[in-house]
């Protein structure tokens, strides 16, 4: 079997056991990318030489007797994460051609554990978007239907894993950017608790919301990657000094004794009938596996999108100020420094980025700071408090990851309609909670080429990754939406 079609757990086991070499895996990955990426467009830049270098090192270490948790596992990396010596662009013109001089801590930990860096994947520019259409440097298609978006902003990473062009990928999630595309492409996407994984080397969008997380085919793989990546980093003051209880060891096979909260405000009646049916079945499956379903309430959940679209842009307007044409990246020379700033940023940033910088600057500006930014942070407190109360009566909360399956390119031209794609994922981000999407079925909207995946979002209290991954694993194993074979049937345009 092609190693790209296996799970990470399987590949690592095989490489550690000497059944295959990391070099062979790297070669298979390179061939797979050449075969499929012209249609999918998951990668902005393949790093084949780097993958081979790392493969050689892994093989040497394994020969010397080491057993590496991610030995030879092919890894795709979202292009907002610095990897020394690689082009790191955030899919933006303003960083086109920039080579990072250092490697993000989270990535380094995976590389040290034996993962092979296959390349940098496409994304919405500076992680702002829910479809990957805001990329200035490439177009990524959903492997299930090439006329549809993969979701965003981690669209490239998700498409790579779904299309078998990587076994695991790293994405980043600020308001749903791992979970929503994972749902759209039928893979597992996991956002850990804020502060569990270092943000050093992750190019910042919204500092109080960004988290790096794994995108995989199975929950077990997500747990494996999380265990290696998580933990305090002296280079990131917001990481927490809490022991990481190995999640891979906490995976369970049933849900007996688990209480799962169903959110009253996330009523399924708002969804299209075929989508609703999938989620009703998902909730029924949870019960079948032994879970007790409990109704919980998140009265302020409806305020999530508004809250997020003040806080995230405010932070991003400050984080993106450094892209000014002075020290790196694009410079459009003007008559003086002021004109250079303005021309550089006008040319270098796409419309969505500009919109968010404008709204963010406005929300922080004199006279508006209290009414917008501070008020949004108070709303955030209320949302977090709602979750605390809800978790008093349940161990995890279940809901749709997105209201619908993947939509067609250009279907959501109006920015605000795009923002609503994150309705179900934003509240968990605001509260910093660990949250993931796991495949839970399919829907076939009119005009779709075939069935399109849907994702079940599971969220847990702060720092309860172990329990969360355990619950997700039981659900995954007890349903048939994700099989070990794990590669969805690809349209013939890709496999031809």
Partner 1 sequence: MASGEIDVAYVAKLARLALTPAEIEKFGAQLATLLDQVDVLSRLPVDGVSATAQVIPQTNVARDDEPRPSLDRETVLRAAPQREGAYFRVPRIIGEDA
Partner 2 sequence: MSATLESANAVVDVNGVPYEAVMGIECHVELKTATKMFCGCRNVFGAEPNTNVCPVCLGMPGALPVPNRLAIELVVKAGLAFGAEIPAFSKFDRKNYFYPDMPKDYQISQFDTPLTQGGVVPFFLPDGTAGSCRLTRIHLEEDTGKSSHAGSRDGRIAGSTHSLVDFNRAGVPLMECVSEPDIRSAAAAVAYLEALKRTFVALGVSDVKMEEGSLRCDVNLSLRPVGAAEYGTKTEIKNMNSFNSVRRAIESEIARQAAILADGGRIVQETRGWDEAAGVTHPMRSKERAHDYRYFPDPDLTPIEFAAADVTRMRAELGTLPQTRLERLVREDGLSLVQAQQIVDTPGLADFYDAARACSGKPQATVNFVLGELSRLANERGTPVAASLVTPAALAEIVELTEANAINSKTAKDVLARVWASGGSPKAIVDAEGLAQVSDAGAIDGIVAGVLAANEKTVADYRSGKTKVMGFLVGQVMKQSGGKANPTLAEERLRAALDGGA
For residues 300 and 284, give the distance between their C-alpha atoms in angstroms, rounded to a whole number.
Answer: 26
Which residues within the stretch 211-250 sit at the binding site for partner 1 (CB under 8 A)? 234, 237-238, 240
Helix, strand, or coil (residue 478): helix
For residues 327 and 317, give the distance between their C-alpha atoms in angstroms, rounded to a whole number.
Answer: 18
Closer CB to partner 2, 269 or 370, in the complex: 370
Q: Which of 255, 234, 227 is nearest to 472 (CA)?
A: 255
334 binds, among partner 2, partner 1, none (CB under 5 to 8 A by kind): partner 1
Q: Check binding of 369 to partner 1 (CB under 8 A).
A: no
Binding mask 242-281 for partner 2 (x = CB under 8 A): ----------------------------------------
Among residues 98, 308, 423, 475, the one that binds partner 2 under rule CB under 8 A: 98
177 assigned to active site: yes
List alpha helices for 22-124, DSSP H: 22-40, 48-63, 105-112
Instruction: Tell the smallest beta-carbon distance from residue 341 to partner 2 (Å).
Output: 6
- CA dihedral sign of residues 46, 151, 188, 490: negative
Q: Check binding of 358 to partner 1 (CB under 8 A).
A: yes
For residues 214 and 230, give the distance between their C-alpha atoms in angstroms, rounded to a whole number.
Answer: 11
For 143, the token pair is: 């492997």
Among residues 144, 349, 407, 475, the one that binds partner 1 under rule CB under 8 A: 349
Instruction: Tell the smallest beta-carbon distance from residue 88 to partner 2 (Å).
Output: 7
Q: Check binding of 446 to partner 2 (CB under 8 A).
A: no
382 binds, among partner 2, partner 1, none (CB under 5 to 8 A by kind): partner 1
153 assigned to active site: yes
Task: Find the part of the chain contacting partner 2 (CB under 8 A) among 203-211, 222-230, 254-262, 388-396.
Answer: 203-211
Q: Which of 153, 154, 157, 459 is catalytic?
A: 153
Order of strands, sheet of 396-400, starting from the edge strand that comes earlier in the sequence = 43-46, 116-121, 74-78, 168-173, 211-216, 188-191, 435-443, 452-459, 396-400, 259-263, 292-296
Task: Find the part of the chain contacting partner 1 (CB under 8 A) among 14-22, 24-32, 258-266, 319-327.
Answer: 319-327
Q: Check binding of 77 to partner 2 (CB under 8 A).
A: no
Closer CB to partner 1, 368 or 409, in the complex: 368
For residues 306 and 287, give the distance between their C-alpha atoms in angstroms, rounded to a whole number.
Answer: 33
Contacts of 243 (CB under 8 A, 6+ apart): none
Q: Which of 253, 262, 281 is nearest to 394 (CA)?
A: 262
For residues 74 and 26, give the distance between their C-alpha atoms in angstroms, rounded to a whole number.
Answer: 7
Closer CB to partner 1, 37 or 315, in the complex: 315
Among residues 321, 346, 392, 484, the one that binds partner 2 under rule CB under 8 A: 321
Radius of gyration for the chain, computed over Cα atoms and rounded to the nearest angstrom:
21
Catalytic residues: 78, 153, 177
Interface residues with partner 2 (CB under 8 A) are 80-82, 88, 90, 95, 98, 100-102, 104, 199-204, 207-208, 234-238, 314-315, 318, 321-324, 326-328, 337-338, 341, 361, 364-366, 369, 373
């Amino acid at each position: 079997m092609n190693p790209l079609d296996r799970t990470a757990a399987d590949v690592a086991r095989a490489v550690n056991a000497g059944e295959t070499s990391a070099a062979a895996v790297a070669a298979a990955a390179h061939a797979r990318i050449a075969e499929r990426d012209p249609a999918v467009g998951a990668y902005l830049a393949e790093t084949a030489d780097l993958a081979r270098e790392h493969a050689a090192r892994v093989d040497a270490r394994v020969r010397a007797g080491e057993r590496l948790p991610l030995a030879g596992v092919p890894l795709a990396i979202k292009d907002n994460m610095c990897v020394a010596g690689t082009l790191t662009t955030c899919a933006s013109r303003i960083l086109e051609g920039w080579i990072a001089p250092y490697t993000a801590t989270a990535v380094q930990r995976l590389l040290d554990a034996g993962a092979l860096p296959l390349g940098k994947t496409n994304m919405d520019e500076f992680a702002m978007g829910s479809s990957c259409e805001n990329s200035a440097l490439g177009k990524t298609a959903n492997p299930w239907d090439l006329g549809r978006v993969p979701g965003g902003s981690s669209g490239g990473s998700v498409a790579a894993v779904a299309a078998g062009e990587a076994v695991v990928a790293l994405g980043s999630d600020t308001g749903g950017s791992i979970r929503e595309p994972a749902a759209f492409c039928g893979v597992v996407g996991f956002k850990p608790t804020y502060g569990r994984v270092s943000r050093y080397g992750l190019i910042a969008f919204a500092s109080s919301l960004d988290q790096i997380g794994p995108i995989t085919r199975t929950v077990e793989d997500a747990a494996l990657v999380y265990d290696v990546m998580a933990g305090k980093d002296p280079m990131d003051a917001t990481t927490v000094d809490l022991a990481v209880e190995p999640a891979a060891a906490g995976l369970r096979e049933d849900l007996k004794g688990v209480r799962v909260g169903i959110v009253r405000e996330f009523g399924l009646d708002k969804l299209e009938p075929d989508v609703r049916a999938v989620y009703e079945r998902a909730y029924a499956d949870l019960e079948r596996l032994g879970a007790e379903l409990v109704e919980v309430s998140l009265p302020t959940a409806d305020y999530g999108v508004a809250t997020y679209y003040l806080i995230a842009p405010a932070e991003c307007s400050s984080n993106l100020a450094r892209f000014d044409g002075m020290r790196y990246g694009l410079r459009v020379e003007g008559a003086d420094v002021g004109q250079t700033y303005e021309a550089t940023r006008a040319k270098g940033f796409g419309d969505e980025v500009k919109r968010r910088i404008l709204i963010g600057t406005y929300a922080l500006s004199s006279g508006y700071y209290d009414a917008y930014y501070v008020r949004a942070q108070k709303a955030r407190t209320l949302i977090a408090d709602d979750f605390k109360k809800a978790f008093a009566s349940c161990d995890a909360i279940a809901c749709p990851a997105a209201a619908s399956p993947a939509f067609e390119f250009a279907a959501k031209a109006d920015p605000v309609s795009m923002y609503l794609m994150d309705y179900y994922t934003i509240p968990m981000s605001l509260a910093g909670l660990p949250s993931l999407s796991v495949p839970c079925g399919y829907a076939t909207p009119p005009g779709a080429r075939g069935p399109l995946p849907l994702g079940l979002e599971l969220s847990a209290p702060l720092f309860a990754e172990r329990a969360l991954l355990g619950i997700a694993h039981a659900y995954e194993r007890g349903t048939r939406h994700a099989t070990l074979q794990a590669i969805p049937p690809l349209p013939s345009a890709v496999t031809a």
